[in-house]
Amino acid sequence: MIHHRSPLRRRLRQYGIGYAFVAVPVLAGVIFLLIPMITTLGWSFTRFNGLQPPQFVGIDNYARLFTHDRIFIKALWNTFRFTILGMLIGPTLGLLTALMLNQKVRFQAFYRTAYFLPVMTSLVVVATIWRMIYNKHGLLNLALGALGLEPIRWLSDPHWALFSIVIASVWQGFGFETVIFLAALQGIPATLYEAAALDGANVWQRFWHVTLPALRPVILFIYIIGIIGSFQVFDQVFVMTSGGPANSTITLVYYLYSKFMDLRLGYASAIAYVLFGILMVFSYLQWRFFTETD
Amino acid sequence: MFPSRRTSLAKLMRGALYLTLTLSSLLMLLPFYWTVSTSFKLEQFVFANPPQWWPDPITLQNYIYVFTRIPFPRYLFNSVFVAVVATGAHVFFDTLAGYAFSKLRFPGRDAIFFAMLLALMIPFQVNLIPLYRIMAWFRWLDHYQALIIPNITGIFGIFLMRQFINSIPDELLDAARIDGCNELNVFLRVVFPLTLPGIATLVIFTFMDIWNAFLWPRLVLSSARMFTLPLGLAQLQARNTSTWGQIMAGTVLTALPMILIFLVMQRQFIAGMTEGAVKQ
C-alpha cells in the first residue's frame, strides 16, 4: 500500500522536526545566555546586594569604577600587563619550538608530548605545582642559590608576583601554540621553499618571505584566542596569590569575583560589562575567523 | 674543503638542535616529576637542600591521607560523573542541532543560527551573576544540576558539528529517506556514524572544559561532598594544616586522569586542537 503524503504536510513535518532538533539549544541559549546577558546589563546600572530589590543608580557604577576605584584601575592594568607579557612570550616560544620540531627531528612524538602535557592539565593543578616551585625554599630558589644568587620572593614580592604567574601560565599554555604552529608549518608546500631556494634566498629570507606569510592566519588565530583567554585569567590568581600582595596580581575577573562575594552585584555587573566591552573587538575577530570557514 | 666545513657546521647545528629540544622538554617535564616525587616524600624532606630528587624514604602516607581524611575519591567521582553526563548530553544535543542547521529546512533556521553565532562572543563572566541567581531560583545550588544543566549543549559544539555534517552529501540522506527511514533514523543511522571524527573532537573539548572548570563550580558548590577535583585541590591548600606532601598527592590525583586520557587519545587530541586553527 502506498502511503500518500501531500508535499505541504511533508514540509510542515520537516519544519516540526527541525524545530524539535534545535529546541533544547535554543531554550538553553535563551535561559543561560540571553536572559543573563540582558540582566547583567540592567543590574550594572543599579545598587544590588541580592537580598533587597535592585536600586537604579544610573551610570554611577561605571563612573566610580573609572574615577574613584584605584583597585579596579590596578586590576585593569594588571590584566593588560598579564595579557601583553603572556602574548609576547607564549606564541614566540611556541613558534620557536615548532620551528625546531619541524626540522624532521627524531623522537618528535616525545618532544611534542612533553610540551603539550601541561596544556591538558587544569590551571588549578598548574598553579598548585608552581606555588611549590616558587616557595621561599623551593626548587627555583635552590637553583638561584646554586648559582650564587639571592633568593627571590616570587609570589610575595609585588614586583615579581604577576610575572611569576605569567611564567606559570606560559608553561601551561605554549604547548598549544607549538602544536598549532607545527601543524601549520607542516602544511606549507615544500615547492614554495624550493622556489625560494632557487631564487637564492637564505634561511632568514625564506623564513621572512615564505614561512611567516604562510603562518599569518594561524598567528592571528593564536593571538585572538590567547588575548581573550588571558583577559579572563582567574584560576591561577585565586590559587597562587588571591590577588596579592598589595593587589599586585589582582585581575578583572578576580576583582569581579571578589565583588560578587561581597554581594555588590550591581558593581560586579558593571565590571563584567567593562570586560565585555574590552573583549568585544577580539571576540568579533574570533567570530569572523570561525564564520569564515563556512 | 668548503663542503666538509659546511657539513660539520650542519652537524653542529643538528647537535645544538637536539640538545635544545631535549633540555627544554626535560625542563617542561620537571615540574611534573617534582610533583610526583614530592607526593612520596616525608614532609621534612620536601624542601631539603640539596633537593631530594628521589624520595628517601618513599612514603605512602600522603596518599593515605588524601584518600581517607580528605574525600578525594568522592571528588573524583563527582568530576567523572559531571564530565561524563555533560559530555554525553553535548554529543547528543550538539549533533542533533548541527544536523538541523545543516540539512533540515525550516523557517528562521539561518536567523537562529546567526543569533547563536553572535552569542559566541559573550564571555562567560558576563552571565555569571544572573546565572547564579537562576540556579538559586531552581534550587540547584550545591547540586549536580548546577554544573550539568547549563552545560548540556554549547554553541561552539553545534557550530563544529554543523561543519562536519555540511560535508555529508544530501543524496545519501535522500537515499535513506526513500528507503523509508524517518528523520530520527536518518540521523542515527547515516549522519551519526559519519560524524564520528567530529564527535571525537567535540568530546575532547567538552570533557576537558568541564573537567578543568573552576570559577563556576567554585561559585555554585559549597559542601565538600559535591566538590570536583580542582575545587578539592584548592580547598586542600586553603587548610592551614595541609602539608606539601599531601597537597602534591592531591595534585597527582587531580591531574592523572586527564593525562592518562590524553596519552591514550593523543592523536585525536592534537588533530582536534589543530582542526579549527589550520585551514588548508
**CATH code of the domain containing A164:** 1.10.3720.10
Q: Is B51–A139 a contact, with Cβ atoms under 8 angstroms apart?
A: yes
A87/A182 same-domain check: yes
Q: Is B183–A100 a contact, with Cβ atoms under 8 angstroms apart?
A: no
Determine contact: B103 vs chain A, CB below 8 A. no
Block residue for cell numbers 612514603: B59
Closest CA to B253 of B83, B74, B85, B87: B74
Closest CA to A171 of A133, A220, A211: A133
From the CB of residue A166, how many other CB atoms can be counted at a distance below 10 Å? Answer: 24
Residue B86 lies in a domain: yes
Block residue for cell numbers 588565530: A221
Angle, alpha carbons B276-B274-A95 (nearest 5°)? 120
Block residue for cell numbers 535554543: A26
Longest Cα–Cα distance in chain B: 82
Q: Is B100–A121 a contact, with Cβ atoms under 8 angstroms apart?
A: no
Q: Is B38–A253 a contact, with Cβ atoms under 8 angstroms apart?
A: no
Contacts of B88 in chain A (CB under 8 A): none
Q: Could you tell me which residues come within 8 angstroms of residue B94 by beta carbon, excluding any fewer than 6 positions away?
A: A25, B153, B154, B157, B158, B160, B161, B202
pLDDT at A3: 53
Look up the domain containing A28 and give its range: 1-40
Chain B interface, best mutation among A129, A177, A257, A294, by max B CB count within 10 A: A129
A160/A27 same-domain check: no
Q: Could you tell me which residues come within 8 angstroms of residue A235 by beta carbon, excluding any fewer than 6 positions away?
A: A122, A123, A124, A127, B214, B215, B230
Residue B259 lies in a domain: no
**B262 pairs with which residues across the strands?**
none
Nearest to A132 among B38, B126, B152 (CB): B38
Rg, C-alpha atoms of chain A: 25
Angle, alpha carbons B217-B219-B224 (nearest 5°)? 65
Rg, C-alpha atoms of chain B: 25
A162/A23 same-domain check: no
d(CA B234, CA B231): 5
Predicted structure pTM score? 0.92
Residue A194 lies in a domain: yes
Nearest to B129 among A40, A112, A142 (CB): A40
Q: Is A22–B112 a contact, with Cβ atoms under 8 angstroms apart?
A: yes
pLDDT at B3: 55
Q: How far apart are the first and last CA of chain A?
A: 43
The DSSP bridge pattern shows strands A46-47 and A55-56 to be: antiparallel
Q: Can you spell out the DSSP letters for B103-155? A: H---TTHHHHHHHHHHHTTS-HHHHHHHHHHHHHHTT-TTSHHHHHGGGS--H
Q: Between residues 172 and 201 of chain B, which touch chain A (CB distance below 8 Å)?
A: 183-184
Q: SS3 letters for B238-268?
A: HCCCCCHHHHHHHHHHHHHHHHHHHHHCHHH
Determine contact: B23 vs chain A, CB below 8 A. no
Q: Which amino acid is at B203?
A: V
Residue B157 lies in a domain: yes
Residue A10 lies in a domain: yes
Residue B211 lies in a domain: yes
Residue A55 lies in a domain: no
User: Kind and range of the H or E element at A55?
Assistant: strand A55-56
Distance from CA of A68 to the nearest CA of B (A): 22
The per-residue pLDDT for range B170-222, each reduced to its tens digit, is 888 888 888 888 888 888 888 888 888 889 889 988 999 999 999 999 999 99
d(CA B185, CA B89): 19
Nearest-CA residue of chain B relative to A38?
Answer: B127
Residue A257 lies in a domain: yes
Contacts of A135 in chain B (CB under 8 A): 47, 244
Distance from CA of B125 to the nearest CA of A (A): 6
A21/A117 same-domain check: no
DSSP helix/strand/coil, A264: coil
Q: Which long-range contacts (CB under 8 A, 24 or more apart) does B24-33 make?
A: B24/A97, B25/A110, B25/A111, B25/A114, B25/A115, B26/A114, B28/A114, B28/A115, B28/A117, B28/A118, B28/A171, B28/A175, B29/A114, B29/A117, B30/A139, B31/A118, B31/A129, B31/A130, B31/A133, B31/A171, B32/A117, B32/A129, B32/B255
Pull the grid cell for residue A243: 590577588
Residue B25 lies in a domain: no
Pull the grid cell for residue A256: 569581579
Angle, alpha carbons A114-A115-A118 (nearest 5°)? 90
A121/A199 same-domain check: yes
Residue A60 lies in a domain: no
| φ, ψ at B201 (rounded to 5°) | -60, -45
Domain at B85, CATH number: 1.10.3720.10
Chain B interface, best mutation among A121, A177, A263, by max B CB count within 10 A: A121
Q: Could you tell me which residues come within 8 angstroms of residue B228 by beta carbon, excluding any fewer than 6 positions away?
A: B75, B78, B79, B82, B147, B211, B213, B217, B221
**A56 pairs with which residues across the strands?**
A46
A34/A75 same-domain check: no
A26/A76 same-domain check: no
Residue B225 lies in a domain: yes
Q: Is B237–A131 a contact, with Cβ atoms under 8 angstroms apart?
A: yes
A167/A244 same-domain check: yes
Q: Is A37–B248 a contact, with Cβ atoms under 8 angstroms apart?
A: no
Percent of chain B's residues with pLDDT above 70: 96
ipTM for the complex shown: 0.91
d(CA A39, CA A30): 12
Please count the structural domains in chain B: 1
In the predicted model, residues of chain B with pLDDT beneath 50 are: 1, 280
Please count the structural domains in chain A: 2
d(CA B210, CA B266): 19
pLDDT at A26: 96
A33/A78 same-domain check: no
Contacts of A280 in chain B (CB under 8 A): 121
Block residue for cell numbers 575577530: A285
Could you tell me how many CB contacts below 8 A there are between chain A and chain B? 263
A90/A19 same-domain check: no
d(CA B90, CA B208): 13
Mean pLDDT per 10-residue section of chain A, whose length is 294 residues: 65 88 95 96 96 95 96 97 97 95 89 92 96 95 94 95 97 94 91 88 89 91 92 96 94 97 97 95 81 62
Chain B interface, best mutation among A14, A132, A176, A228, by max B CB count within 10 A: A132
A139/A14 same-domain check: no
pLDDT at A293: 57
Residue B189 lies in a domain: yes
Q: Is B211–A100 a contact, with Cβ atoms under 8 angstroms apart?
A: no
**A47 pairs with which residues across the strands?**
A55
In terms of Cβ atoms closer than 10 Å to its own Cβ (0-12, 13-18, 19+), residue A107 is middle
Look up the domain containing B85 and give its range: 70-238
pLDDT at A5: 59
Determine contact: B242 vs chain A, CB below 8 A. no
CB B160 within 8 A of CB B90: no
A107/A209 same-domain check: yes
